[in-house]
Structures are given as C-alpha cells and as structure tokens.
Amino acid sequence: MKTFATMLGAAAVLLASGSAALCARTDLVVGVVLEPPHLDPTAGAAAAIDEIVYANVFEGLTRIGPNGEVEPALAESWEVSDDGLTYNFKLREGVTFHDGTTFEAEDVKFSLDRARAEDSTNAQKVLFSAIENVEAVDPTTVRVTLKHPQGAFPYNMGWGDAVIVAPESADANKEKPVGTGPFKFDNWAKGASVTISKYADYWGKPVALEKAEFRFIPDAAAAVPALLSGDVQAFTNLQAGDALPQIEADPRFEVVIGATEGETILATNNGKAPFDNLKVRQAIAHALNRDEIILGASSGNGVPIGSHFSPANAAYIDLTDTYPHDVEKAKALLAEAGHPDGFSATLKLPPPPYARQGGEIVASQLREIGIELEIIPVEWAQWLEQVFTNKDYDLSIVSHTEPNDINIYARDDYYFNYNNPAFDAVMEELDATTDPDKRKELFGTAQRIIAEDAVNGFLFQMPKTGVWDAKLEGMWENAPIQANDLTKVRWTD
Amino acid sequence: MTAYLAKRLAIGLATLLVASLVVFSVLEILPGDPARIMLGLNASPEALEALRSQMGLDRPVVLRYLDWLAGMATGDFGRSYTYSSPVIELVAERVSVSLPLALMALALSTAIAIPVGIFAAARRGRLSDTIAMGIAQVGVAIPNFWFAMLLVYIFAVGLRLVPAGGFPGWGEDWGGVWQGFKALLLPAVALALPQAAILSRVTRSAMLEVMGEDYIRTARAKGLPRRAVLWRHALRNALIPVLTILGLQFAFLLAGTIIIENVFYLPGLGRLIFQAISQRDLIVVEGVVMLLVASIIVINLLVDICYAIADPRLRTGR
C-alpha cells in the first residue's frame, strides 16, 4: 500500500505541472457504469439510456430541473383548462432536429401518439394513459385532451420516455438518435463509449462544451485509476467504496454526495402470512436500525427514510420516527401477533452491494426479535421473475429508482401485494388536483398512510456520489431524474 | 495427411452440432424473460407482449432452434435483442480488440517463455535455473487482475505513459493504429506474463525429458556442438507439449479474458458475452458461443497440423 501512495504522490506532481497548459478546455470525458442497450429513451427502461441522451440530445415538452422541478423545454409555456382536462402547449419557434428538419406541432402529436399506440414498446406507457387526444392546432400550438384530470401531467411530459422525436428519424433512434437538444450524437463505439458534440443550430443558449464522451467503466476498481490518471474527468455516480476518502483528500477532485430518487426498501409480501398482519410489519419496522444499515450497505452515505418518498422532493415529510428502533417493543408486537417465539422466512437479495450487504445486517437485526431469515442471493433476471412478476417471496431488498413513484402502492397487482382503498382514494384525488399546495398536502397524506401501514421496511435514500475535476462546474448534485445533464457544464480556469 | 485432416474436420463439425444443441437448450431453460429485462419494472403487460412478438419469442422452441441453425449455416447469426444490430457486426467489432490483444499476448509470452525454458533446461540444477523457475512460480501464482492493477498504477497513473484503460479504436491512419496499440499494451503484458510463466515451465520440463533420450547422447557422441543438439534435436522433439499448451492458451486469450477486460474496460469478446448473459440477450450469447466453439475447433485443427509438421510419424498415420 505504501508503494501505491508513493506512486499517487508522483501522479499528483505530474498532474500539477501538466495542467497549467490546459486552459478553458471544451472537452469532457464522463465515466458511467453501464452501457445502454440502445439510445432511444422512448423504447426502453434502462436508466443508462437517459443517462446519456436526456436533456443533452433529446428534449420533451417540459423537462425536470436539477432539483426535481418542472421547467419549460420545447413548450415555452402551457395553460390548463379549469376542469383540468385540456392542456394548451405553446411551442418554441426556430427549433430544428439534428438532421435539419424543423420541429413543429405535428412532431409532438406524432411522438405522443406513437408512445401511447397499441403496439408501442414505450416502457412507461402509463405516463400517457390519461391522454384522450392530441391535436396540432397550428405549427406552434398543441392541445392535449385528457380522459380525466391528471395533476402530474406536465411532470410526466418531462420524463425521458416522453421526449419529442421526428417521424423522419424515429425508427433509427436506437442506433443514431436525432433530437432537438444542444448536443448531437456523434458516435457509439460499442462496449467503449458514446460521443456527443455541440449542435451549432440549437434554439437556446449554446453549451460551453464542444465535445463530450461517456465512457463505460463497469468495474469500480478500474474507475479510480481512470480518474487519477486524468483519462476520465467526471463520474456522476462513483461506487468507489474504500477509495473514496483518498479521492476526497485530493485537491484535484471534488466529491459531492447528493440524493437520487432511489428509495431503498425492505420489500415485504403483504399478501403472505405472517406479513399480512400489520403487527408483524410494525414489529419489523421497530426492529430495523437504519443508521447501522446505511453504514454497512452504503458506506454511511444515504438519508434515512420513513416512507416511500425522496427527501430531495419539496413535498417530503420526515416519517422516520413513525416506528423508532425499539427491540423490546418489536418483540411485544410480535408476541401480540401470535409469534412470541418469532418465525422463519426468506430474504431474496439481488446482486447490488446495497442489497447483499444490507441484507446481512437486516437479517441480524431481525434475528434479535426472533425472526430467522434465510438469505437467498438471486440474479437480476431471477429477481424479476420470482419476486417482481410471480410474487414468490417473503422479503427482499431493492432500490426503487423511478422518480415520484409513490403511486405504485395503488397498483393492485404490484409485488408488494398491498391493498388499501384509503390510499387509492388519495392517489385518485392527487391525479385530479392541479393546485400545487393541495398536491403537496395529498403527497404528505399518502406518505403517512404507507408509513403507518408499514407496507415495507423503509431504509434509506440511495446517495449519488459525484466525483469530478475541481475545475468543472455545472454538474448536477442530485439526481431527481435519471440523467447526466451536461448542458450547463463548463471548465473554469 | 489428407485422411488425417478429413477425419479431424468431420469430428469438428460433429462437435459444432452437439454444441449448438447444448447451448440452445441451456439458454432456453435459463430463468429470465428478455422482454421484461429490456422494458424494466413498470412496463405494462401490453408493451411486453408487443415486444415479445417483435422478437419472435412467442414461437415454438423447435422452430426457433431450426431457424437459428439454418441462419448460421448461411452466415446469418440474427439480430441482438438489446442492441438491435446484427450479431455478426457486434462480434466483428469485439474481435477487432480481442484478436489483436490475444495475438500480442501470445507473441509476448512465447518470446519470453521459450528462451527462458530452454535456458533453464540447459542449466538444470544451477543457480540461474533455480532463479528463472522461482520467478516463473511467482508468475503462475500472482492473480492477473492484481498484476494488471499494479501495471495501471505504475505506467498509467504514475508515469502516464499509456492510458489507464479503454480502447479508442484502430483509427484511420498510423497515428490511430499507434493509439490502439498503446491502449492494448498493458493488457497484453498483464495477460502474457502469467501465461509465459506456465509456458516456460512446460518448455523446461519437455526439454529435460527429451534431453534424457538416447538419440541426444548419440548426437553429442558423434561430436555435434551442445548448441546444435539443443536447438535442432531437442527443441524440435520437445515442441509437441509446448504446442498443446500454446493452443489452449490462445483459446483462453481469445474469450477468457473478461477479468482483464474489466480492469482495462476494453470492449472485448469476454465482456460482450458477460453483458449479453446478464441482459438475457440470448441470440448474442448463442451466436458468440458458437463462434468461439468454432474458433477453438479451428485452433485445435491448426495445432494438430503443427504436430504433423513437428512429428513426421503423425503425417503418415503410423
């Protein structure tokens, strides 16, 4: 280890002497863990797609900003009718796609109709399910009529799955994406990298970077030397583990721990005995010690949560004290539920370290109140089939990374097997509400219901460990949506 | 010689057919629905159905197997579920990294191992032999990913002579080729040294065995110089086990290098297979495995031919 330190010191000296020559750089290499299967965000759920093209290459009517707020994008502004059923979007003028074709209302109609069509393979079809009709009133006006009011509609239109594509190029977007964003797609060296470059005819403020490359580095042990050698200048989410303190101590780099939309939960099969008993679930909630879990599963980074909601969201309420860590109380509840000596169950764990490492801690915490867990490690494919699709599980640990996804608790056939008409009613009311304050209040009620019902064990919000060259600015601190927005990134000197 | 080759070729084809059946059935019973993996947790059942029928997954198994065989026979390996580009193109891209890397590593390991092996055999029992074989022992024992990381920290992070990883492609001109070569240099060294360690030990013991033979004593007795005996008589006869190991090592270097590919994040064949398996991109897995089986059969055939060249007795079939 000492030799490593010496070598690192040598590297630092070399870097310091070499960097003076590099002023006002306009190129950037960003390291990402996963390679996307293709580059069409309207035809796949993989977060890796959005993490390259969202906001950079493709834009939607609206967009989600760095703190999760809805901002105008291709729609300059919009108006909602009083009954909440009609949205009039006023589109920007002078917008072109990267292949030179003009963007107008017909493209919006095409994109939305394509996404909600019968044979559409859009992974988030539910975003468009409320749409009754899309009409191109004139080249710069689109009128969307809804089947029922949907308060989250402008937010939904900001998802990567709802970006606007052109009929001329839509079918080829998987290989050669053509959007309206400030960067155009250059090249995809499969297995190695995707390169994008500045689009000269962009409608808005031009980006500072001329060229950006997303380089795929799946192995965390390879990511650290890539950063130290200067090959890669930014990692939006680096799983550096033990190497993080070393990087933090290095003045060349900035380490920013932000929040993601990933609620990490102890998923519980509410439809299966004994977990169908509220007292058992409450006992589990009392037995969990979130701080210990965060320390072991996420190197101590991550915000404890008491419900299925992101602390970065304005409507978040802190419910971590609903069932505080209390082993005696947990035992008492378990006895009341008819299991004074506890019981045994299974815990199926998918591959990520937060699940595998967190699982062992959860198992030892539940053992204290007499619940013996048999740990079954599963592959993602098995997890999807056994736990998610067939609901053949007792407990599992997983992070739900979709933004604003508390509505999954209203789905009848979702794998939690949770059913509460009161919660469903809140979700329906939320859908029908457009007033921001009222929506906030309803989100609060929803968080409280599932926290009190102890539907799942709510553990922590996944952190986002951004690491980049200290001379870079404009990188996102949080990840309110799956994206690596480079539009405001620039080098300072 | 012709009969010998024909027999080898027939065995090779039969192996391919059996392999195809095994590969296809194993992947068929593997849990995990490719469509579900592509569309993710919140996908609607309709979208899943639409995608399954687009990918042809709703057709009977036997039909799909026969279609696949017929396709391969005409050189059509199908289209990747995830990348939606032809499998053969994906493989070609990866081979342009894996094959040069394997050849570089193989050349390096041969260039080091054979002279070291012969040298050690010629000085059997002396200090130089002990040292050479001691180093080889360490080389066999060192995990190659650890050695790779060490190389990265010294040559990429410390000295900054080469990139820490990645592969920029072969480029358009000689400058581009040089960049590509530089990117493969550390991985080739990391792969070659453990292989060289094994190969030098094999060479040494093969040489020692041959040098105990009567004809070596005869050659020495008739007055041939030591060096000539070593290179002309002993080495040629010791080549058979060395060739066998070389064939095995080349097959390993072509696709078994996933760990090194991960350390240097190279877009090689190993990572393609790994990725395809975890994404249940079955058609890619099937195609790549079949191509690997085929190339290993070809390598073995080449090794067999080399045996025949090295040993005339095999040519005449006696």
Q: For residue A83, what pLDDT is reported? A: 87
Instruction: Copy the structure tokens of residue A98.
Output: 């990267």
Which CATH number does the domain housing residue A201 bear?
3.40.190.10
Phi, psi of A208, deg, nearest 5: -80, -30
Under an 8 A CB cutoff, do B152 and A37 touch? no
Instruction: Tell me the CA distances in angstroms from A84 to A141, A204, A428, B150, one per residue in order.
Output: 18, 30, 14, 62
Tell me how far apart the alpha carbons of residues B41 and A7 are, in angstroms, rounded to a whole number: 45
Q: Which of A19, A125, A229, A402 to probe the B interface (max B CBs under 10 A)?
A: A229
Instruction: Copy the structure tokens of residue A462.
Output: 């996944």
Under an 8 A CB cutoff, do A192 and B33 touch? no
Looking at residue A268, what DSSP letter applies?
E
Tell me: do A311 and A379 sit in the same domain: yes
**Residues 391..410 of A with a Cβ closer than 8 Å to B: which?**
400, 402, 405, 408
Fold of B91-316: MetI-like fold (1.10.3720)
Q: How many CB pairs under 8 A join A and B?
A: 166
Q: Is position A203 within any domain?
A: yes
Residue type (1 letter), A54: Y
Distance from CA of B176 to the nearest CA of A (A): 15
Residue in B43, B165, B281 nearest the CB of A226: B165
Q: For residue B58, what pLDDT is reported? A: 79
CB A169 within 8 A of CB A178: yes
Q: Is position A54 within any domain?
A: no
Tell me how far apart the alpha carbons of residues B90 and B288 are, in angstroms, rounded to a whole number: 9
Q: Is position A116 within any domain?
A: yes
Q: Locate the domains of chain B by residue range.
A: 91-316
B152 touches chain A (CB under 8 A): yes
pTM of the predicted protein model: 0.79
**Residues 32..91 of A with a Cβ closer than 8 Å to B: which?**
35, 37-38, 44-46
A192 touches chain B (CB under 8 A): yes
CB A467 within 8 A of CB A227: yes
Distance from CA of A7 to the nearest CA of B (A): 5
Distance from CA of A488 to the nearest CA of B (A): 26
Distance from CA of B173 to the nearest CA of A (A): 18
**Residues 23..42 of B with a Cβ closer than 8 Å to A: which?**
30-33, 36-42
Tell me: do A205 and A287 sit in the same domain: no
Distance from CA of B259 to the nearest CA of A (A): 10
Distance from CA of A383 to the nearest CA of B (A): 9
Under an 8 A CB cutoff, do A389 and B82 touch? no
Tell me how far apart the alpha carbons of residues A315 and A422 are, in angstroms, rounded to a whole number: 19
Tell me how far apart the alpha carbons of residues B45 and A115 are, in angstroms, rounded to a whole number: 15
Residue in A35, A126, A385 nearest the CB of B33: A385
Sequence-ordered list of residues with C-beta below 8 angstroms from that of A227, at least 6 positions apart, any chain: A31, A233, A235, A238, A247, A253, A467
- pLDDT, tens digit, for every residue of A449-478? 999 999 999 999 999 889 999 999 999 988
The residue behind tokens 């090295």 is B310
Under an 8 A CB cutoff, do B166 and A231 touch? yes
Q: For residue A13, what pLDDT is reported? A: 43
B94 touches chain A (CB under 8 A): yes
The per-residue pLDDT string of chain B (318 residues; one tens digit each, 9 = 90 and over) reads: 677 778 888 888 898 899 999 988 888 777 667 777 767 666 677 777 887 887 777 788 888 888 888 888 888 888 887 777 888 988 888 888 999 999 999 999 999 998 898 888 888 888 888 888 888 888 888 888 888 888 988 988 888 888 888 888 887 778 788 888 888 999 999 999 888 998 999 999 888 888 888 888 888 888 888 888 887 778 888 888 888 888 888 888 887 788 888 888 888 888 888 888 877 788 888 888 888 888 888 888 888 888 877 777 766 654
Looking at residue B86, what DSSP letter applies?
B
Tell me how far apart the alpha carbons of residues A195 and A212 are, in angstroms, rounded to a whole number: 6
Of all residues in chain B, the one with the smallest CA distance to A415 is B41
Q: Which of B33, B88, B157 to probe the A interface (max A CBs under 10 A)?
A: B157
Tell me: do A143 and A193 sit in the same domain: no
Tell me how far apart the alpha carbons of residues B105 and B253 are, in angstroms, rounded to a whole number: 8
Tell me: do A406 and A327 sit in the same domain: yes
- Give per-10-residue mean pLDDT for chain A (493 aa): 45 44 78 87 84 95 88 94 92 94 94 90 85 94 92 90 93 93 93 93 93 90 88 88 84 90 94 93 96 90 92 88 94 94 93 90 95 90 83 93 87 90 93 85 95 96 92 89 91 85
Tell me how far apart the alpha carbons of residues A222 and A203 are, in angstroms, rounded to a whole number: 39
**Residues 165..194 of B with a Cβ closer than 8 Å to A: which?**
165-169
β-strands A472-473, A303-304: how paired? unpaired
Domain that holds residue A249: 27-32+176-258+466-491
Question: What total of structural domains would you count in chain A?
Answer: 3
What are the chain A neighbours of B54 within 8 Å (beta carbons)?
121
**Residues 260..299 of B with a Cβ closer than 8 Å to A: which?**
262-268, 271-272, 275, 278-281
Distance from CA of A234 to the nearest CA of B (A): 15
Final residue in a domain of this structure, among A170, A194, A227: A170
Which CATH number does the domain housing residue A427 bear?
3.10.105.10
Residue in A7, A124, A219 nearest the CB of B265: A219
Sequence-ordered list of residues with C-beta below 8 angstroms from that of A160, at least 6 positions apart, any chain: A41, A49, A50, A53, A54, A58, A60, A481, A482, A483
A174 touches chain B (CB under 8 A): yes
Distance from CA of B44 to the nearest CA of A (A): 7
Instruction: Copy the structure tokens of residue B269.
Output: 């064949």
Instruction: Tell me the CA distances in angstroms from B235 to A331, A482, B311, one per residue in order.
Output: 76, 61, 12
Q: Is position A13 within any domain?
A: no
Under an 8 A CB cutoff, do A382 and B32 touch? yes
Q: Is position A48 within any domain?
A: no
CB A414 within 8 A of CB A381: no
- Let me know if B39 is exposed, middle or buried by CB neighbors in 10 A (0-12, 13-18, 19+): buried
Q: For residue A20, what pLDDT is reported? A: 42
Tell me: do A146 and A251 sit in the same domain: no
CB A307 within 8 A of CB A358: no
Tell me how far apart the alpha carbons of residues B21 and B24 are, in angstroms, rounded to a whole number: 5
Q: For residue A96, what pLDDT is reported? A: 95
State the complex-level ipTM: 0.72
Q: For residue B316, what pLDDT is reported? A: 63
The distance from CA B149 to its chain's CA centroid, rounded to whole angstroms, is 21
Q: For residue B315, what pLDDT is reported? A: 65
Beta strands in A65-106, from DSSP E residues, in sequence order: 70-72, 75-80, 86-91
Tell me how far apart the alpha carbons of residues A439 and A150 are, in angstroms, rounded to a whole number: 11
The distance from CA B140 to its chain's CA centroid, rounded to whole angstroms, is 18
Tell me how far apart the alpha carbons of residues A213 and A28 are, in angstroms, rounded to a whole number: 6
Residue in B32, B44, B267 nearest the CB of A190: B267
Residue in B46, B83, B167 nearest the CB of A38: B83
Distance from CA of B128 to the nearest CA of A (A): 29
Tell me how far apart the alpha carbons of residues A431 and B282 are, in angstroms, rounded to a whole number: 40
The residue behind tokens 């490719």 is B34
At residue A102's C-alpha, the angle toward residues A100 and A103, to 5°, is 125
Dump the DSSP string for B138-191: HHHHS-HHHHHHHHIIIIIIIS-SS-SS------SSHHHHHHHHHHHHHHHHHH
The distance from CA B37 to its chain's CA centroid, rounded to whole angstroms, is 30
Residue in B44, B82, B157 nearest the CB of A229: B157
Q: For residue B215, what pLDDT is reported? A: 85
Q: Is position A349 within any domain?
A: yes
What are the chain A neighbours of B37 within 8 Å (beta carbons)?
380-381, 384
Final residue in a domain of this structure, among A170, A195, A224: A170
Tell me how far apart the alpha carbons of residues B101 and B270 are, in angstroms, rounded to a whole number: 12
Per DSSP, helices labelled H in A70-192 are 105-116, 153-156
Residues in chain A: 493
Q: For residue A21, what pLDDT is reported? A: 44
Closest C-alpha to A446, from A330, A333, A313: A313
Under an 8 A CB cutoff, do A175 and B85 touch? yes
Q: Is position A10 within any domain?
A: no
Q: Is position A3 within any domain?
A: no
Residue type (1 letter), B270: G
Residue type (1 letter), B9: L
β-strands A371-377, A343-349: how paired? parallel
